[in-house]
Amino acid sequence: MFFYRKEKEVNQVGIWKRMKEDMDVVFEQDPAARSYFEVFLTYSGLHAVWWHRVAHMFYRRRMFFIARAISQLNRFLTGIEIHPGAIIGRRLFIDHGMGVVIGETCEIGDNVTIFQGVTLGGTGKEKGKRHPTVKDNALIATGAKVLGSITIGKSAKVGAGSVVLKDVPDHATIVGVPGKVVRQHGEKIRKDLDHHKLPDPVANRCEHLQQEIDELRAEIAELKEIVKGKEGE
């Protein structure tokens, strides 16, 4: 109900004011932005959010086919797929959004940042609420996969390439596959997290094979010595 109440408040804000607000977010987060004219015409993440609002309006009126058609047009034009049923708050910033997927029952709060290749999807097992809830001020980095009816807390950060299957607390940073909390409220959680020391199965197998080769060479050398001794008799 929290997100539905916020959605109603958002819809009461003027359309042009909302569009201006969306463009202001781009200037705040992207140093490459130079003018409102450039941002208005060339930022696909911005266009995707605007198209979604139109699709979502039809979706709420139970005009599902029109809503889905608009969302597919949105996907074709921007490379960003947002289901028309998803609930999105104010000031969402999708940066370099190609490949972003946002599922039907997603709920996204205010001031959220999403980078390219992010998936806010389901696991294929749930019914009803089956996609993530992302709270205010969260950041989801490049290529992260957030799956299932889980919650990404306020001001949380999901690291690039992470796969998140469990709730993330407020003000936490999560990384890895599967995702693990490494910081919360700016303090390190796991002091022994050394990514350069993670197991490498390929290297381990190569070392095992090299060991077998060395043992075979030693056995061959020993057999050669035995053969030479017999020939000298």
> Confidence band (pLDDT; 50, 70, 90) for 201?
low
CATH class of the domain whose range is 2-188:
mainly beta
Quick one: which of 112, 93, 100 has its CA closest to 43? 93
Angle between helices 15-29 and 44-60 (to 10 degrees): 150
Give the pLDDT confidence score for residue 194 in this predicted structure.
52
State the pTM of this model: 0.70
Asked if pLDDT for residue 9 goes beyond 70, the answer is: no
Give the pLDDT confidence score for residue 4 in this predicted structure.
45
> Confidence band (pLDDT; 50, 70, 90) for 14?
confident
Give the pLDDT confidence score for residue 206 in this predicted structure.
84
Straight-line distance from the first to the last Cα atom of the chain, in angstroms, rounded to the nearest whole number: 95
Residue percentage of the chain with pLDDT more than 70: 85
Asked if pLDDT for residue 6 goes beyond 70, the answer is: no
Asked if pLDDT for residue 181 goes beyond 80, the answer is: yes
Across 70-99, average pLDDT: 93
Give the pLDDT confidence score for residue 193 in this predicted structure.
44
pLDDT digits (tens, 9 = 90+) for 33-44: 889 999 999 999
Sequence letter at residue 73: L
Residue percentage of the chain with pLDDT more than 90: 51
Secondary structure percentages of the chain, helix, strand, coil, to 5: 40, 20, 40
Quick one: which of 97, 103, 162 has its CA closest to 134? 103
Give residues with Cβ within 8 angstroms of 134, minimum separation 6: 106, 107, 108, 109, 112, 120, 140, 146, 151, 152
